[in-house]
Chains A and B, each alone.
Chain A
C-alpha cells in the first residue's frame, strides 16, 4: 500500500545528524591533512607528503561512506521496500568499501612513490580523527525520544 503522506514526513530524523557529521568530518580531515602532510614532508620528504595525503584521504573517504550510504538510503524512506533497500544499500556499501580498500592497500603497497609507514600512520590518524568527529557530533545532537512517531490519522468521511 502506498502511503499518501508527503515524502518529507517519513524521512528519518537522523538525517541532520549524519549530514553534520559528514561536514565536520571534511573540516577535521583538512586539519589532519595539513598536519600529517607537514610531518610527512619533514620526516620523509616529498614521498612522505604524498603518502600523508593519500593515507588521510583514504581514511576520511572510507569512514565517511557509512554516513553517506545511510543518508542516501534514507531517500527511499517513503518506499514500500525501505527496510530492504536501507540495509541493502548500507551493508552493500560496507562490503564494497572493504573490497575497494583491500584492493587499494594491495595496489599501493609496492608503489615506490609512497612511504608505507607515513601512509599507515596518517591513515590511523585520519580514522581516529573521524571517530572523534562522529562521537562529538552524536554527543551534541539532540533528538527527541519519539522523533519518528506516527500519529493516527483523522478518520475520513468518504
Chain B
C-alpha cells in the first residue's frame, strides 16, 4: 500500500469542497456587512436609512458570488 492511499485518500467529488467554500465566503462577507451596519447605526441612528441601502447593496454583491458558486453544480459534472 503506498503512502497516498494510507495518508491522503479522498473519496467522492472534489466539487463538494467548492460548494462549502461558496457558502462560507459569502456567509463571512454578509456577517461583516451586517455587523458594520449595526455599528454605524449605533453610532449615528439618523443615518439608518442610508446605511440600510448600503447594507443591502453590500449583501447583493456578496450573495451574487454565492449564487454563481452554488449554481456551478449545473455545469461541473462528476
Show the binding face of A for B, using Cβ within 8 Å. Answer: 12-15, 17-18, 21, 59, 62-63, 66-67, 70, 74, 87, 90-91, 94, 98, 101-102, 105-106, 108-109, 116-117, 119-120, 123-124, 127-128, 130-131, 134-135, 138, 141, 143, 145-150
Contact = CB atoms under 8 A, between A and B. Distances in A.
B67 A59 contact: yes
A105 B15 CA distance: 14
Interface of B: 19, 23, 30, 34, 38, 45-50, 52-54, 56-57, 59-61, 63-64, 66-68, 70-75
A-B CB proximity, top 9 nearest: A13-B49, A149-B46, A116-B74, A14-B52, A120-B74, A14-B49, A12-B49, A146-B46, A148-B48
Contacts of A74: 52
B75 A117 contact: yes
A70 B52 contact: yes
Nearest to A146: B46
Nearest to A12: B49
A124 B66 CA distance: 11
B10 to A, nearest CB: 22
A62 B59 CA distance: 12
Contact of A94 (B48, B59, B75): B59
A147 B68 contact: no
B30 A120 contact: no
A143 B53 contact: yes
Contacts of A59: 67
Nearest to B64: A127
